[in-house]
Amino acid sequence: MTKKNSPPPKSKFQYDAIVIGTGPGGEGVAMQLAKAGNNVAVVEKYEAVGGGCTHWGTIPSKALRHSVSRMIEYNNTPLFSENYLVRNLTFSEIMKHASGVIRKQARLRSSFYDRNRVSLYHGEASFVDRHTLKLVRPDGSTDTLTAKQIAIATGSRPYCPSDIDFNHPRIYNSDTILDLDHDPKSIIIYGAGVIGSEYASIFRGMGVKVDLVNMRDRLLSFLDAEISDALSYHLWNNGVMIRHNEVYKSVEGRDDCVVMNLESGKRMRADCLLFANGRTGNTDMLKLENVGLKADSRGQLTVNKNYQTEVDNIYAVGDVIGYPSLASAAYNQGRFAAEAMIAGKPNADLVDDIPTGIYTIPEISSVGKTEQELTQQKVPYEVGRAQFKHLARAQIASTQVGSLKILFHRETKEILGIHCFGERASEIVHIGQAIMQQKNGGNTLDYFVNTTFNYPTMAEAYRVAALNGLNRIFKD
């Protein structure tokens, strides 16, 4: 006899689980469930899988950044610049490369669903009840899908305030900027977070005059202060105008320009505007009220340690649950959520020290504590530094801007934080991260002092920084 309020028998559902969204989080859920033998379906609103990460966020912006960085490297390398004219690329030319990468990533990710026999539906999903979704296809036709469990991985979109006309051909957000079809001579970037700082580097690298408007008193204040200062100096030195502690009052979209009026009374004019101030979770189209869920003011859902919402058969991962809002973390969240959907709890948790990768030019990456956090916590730490300009590999590659900083406990030598600014920083930081994860005394500065690194390499910066740090320690 079936108990009251118990879910219907499994045979009454079309699928064991349905995943809404095919970004990193949704892919992580779907692949883990399918590999465990579950009958899984995914719903993707757009014509190709991959979500915002592949089509509008991580992949295209990093592909853009790579092309611009290589152009800068070409123009600044004596081997080329002494014999050839300076090479400048248009935004459209650079986007061709990015579009190729997007297509390759979409094809690859699509093959994962085929190979693992995951049913793929294209359309917009919304809840009918806790086990049922309504699917509206691109042609307007509808269908109903049912499952025992449902995972929400719908990602996020740029925040677009209603008092700015984003339909104006000169006003963009961080998604629509990829459709830029002309070559601006000047741009206003409103919002100096990760996305704004990255695009400031990209456009300035292309020779565009950049005004970067920051609502706070420093760039990327979550970073170690020295790294934040290094970025500020580098942008300033390259000609970016940074305006701190400013808030817009109004935006005027004109035929030939955009004018931004600030609360401070200042006025700025440029060929176009990129508004990059925050993101909103994609939950408003899901009809959450039909299952008793409610998103917060930023469109985000609350979940427990198992990524389970207040409705016990509905889970959520990725940008729709907030921190850390990283593609890399979202994939792991998806895997862990799938394990919880199968066994009641995940087999692992996200690592405590999640690396941050910021793809400005040059890159920034860090993991662990900052100097400010350690000082506030009264931890007796010391600092080891390596300047890239002193490394043979950096001199060979003409990528001498930047440094590596190791923070370590001055008594135990335990590594507490790694902070890197410079070309390939997001790769270099993982060496330090790997050592920080070692247990039973394996996480100490001694590893970098005693191991042998390939020479010449950028990894050698760890040995240089470790020795530099040891030289600062003295005994009474």
> Any idea which fold 171-277 has?
FAD/NAD(P)-binding domain (3.50.50)
Which two tokens mark 188? Answer: 């206003």
CA–CA dist 468, 355 (Å, integer): 23
| C-alpha span between 391 and 464 (Å, rounded) | 9
**Interatomic CA distance for residues 285 and 322, integer angstroms:** 18
Would you list which residues are annotated within the binding site?
44-53, 62, 154-156, 191-198, 278, 319
Helix ranges (DSSP H) in 37-77: 51-55, 58-76
Check if 171-277 and 362-470 are the same fold: no
Q: Which CATH architecture has domain 11-157+280-343?
A: 3-Layer(bba) Sandwich (3.50)
Q: Please give the structure tokens belonging to residue 192.
A: 């100096």
pLDDT per residue as tens digits for the range 182-212: 899 999 999 999 999 999 999 999 999 999 9
Q: How confident is the model at residue 439 (pLDDT cuts 50, 70, 90)?
A: confident
CA distance 336 to 165: 40
Alpha-carbon span 66 to 64, nearest angstrom: 5
Q: Where do runs of H (alpha helix) occur along 160-297? A: 194-205, 225-237
Give the chain's mean pLDDT: 93
Whether pLDDT at 232 is above 50: yes
Please list, in sequence order, all residues whose beta carbon lies within 8 angstroms of the beta carbon of residue 60, skipping any fewer than 6 positions away.
95, 98, 99, 101, 102, 178
pLDDT tens, residue by residue, 382-403? 999 999 999 999 999 888 899 9
3-state DSSP of 296-356: CCCCCCCCCCCCECCCCCEEECHHHHCCCCCHHHHHHHHHHHHHHHHHCCCCCCCCCCCCE
Helix, strand, coil percentages, rounded to 5, for the chain: 35, 25, 40
* Residue from 125, 139, 179, 145 nearest 40 by CA: 145
Give the contacts of 368 (CB within 8 A, at least 6 positions apart).
Answer: 353, 407, 415, 416, 417, 418, 432, 436
- Taking the alpha carbons of 65, 66, 72, 76 in that order, is the dihedral positive or negative? positive
**pTM of this structure:** 0.91
Of residues 349 and 145, the one with the higher pLDDT is 145
Q: What is the mean pLDDT of the segment spanning 353-358? A: 92
How far apart are the C-alpha atoms of 377 and 379, rounded to whole Å? 6
Q: Are 329 and 25 in contact (CB under 8 A)?
A: no
Per-residue confidence (pLDDT) for residue 1, from 0 to 100: 37
Question: Given this model, what pLDDT does residue 328 score?
Answer: 87
Answer left, alpha or beta for residue 158, where phi above 0 means left and psi between -120 and 50 means alpha: beta
What are the tokens at 236?
């300033």
On whether the CB atoms of residues 218 and 228 are closer than 8 A, the answer is yes
Integer Cα distance of 266 and 262 in angstroms: 5
- pLDDT band at 74, cuts 50/70/90? confident
- The structural domains of the chain, with segments of one domain joined by +, span 11-157+280-343, 171-277, 362-470
Please state, in angstroms and rounded to a whole number, the distance separating the CA atoms of residues 65 and 194: 13
Sign of CA dihedral 454, 457, 459, 462: positive
Report the pLDDT value the prediction gives residue 72, as an integer from 0 to 100: 85
Detail the residues annotated as belonging to a binding site for NAD(+).
191-198, 278
Residues 6 or more apart from 436 whose CB is under 8 A from it? 353, 367, 368, 415, 418, 443
Architecture of domain 362-470: 2-Layer Sandwich (3.30)
Query: Percentage of the chain surpassing pLDDT 70?
Result: 96
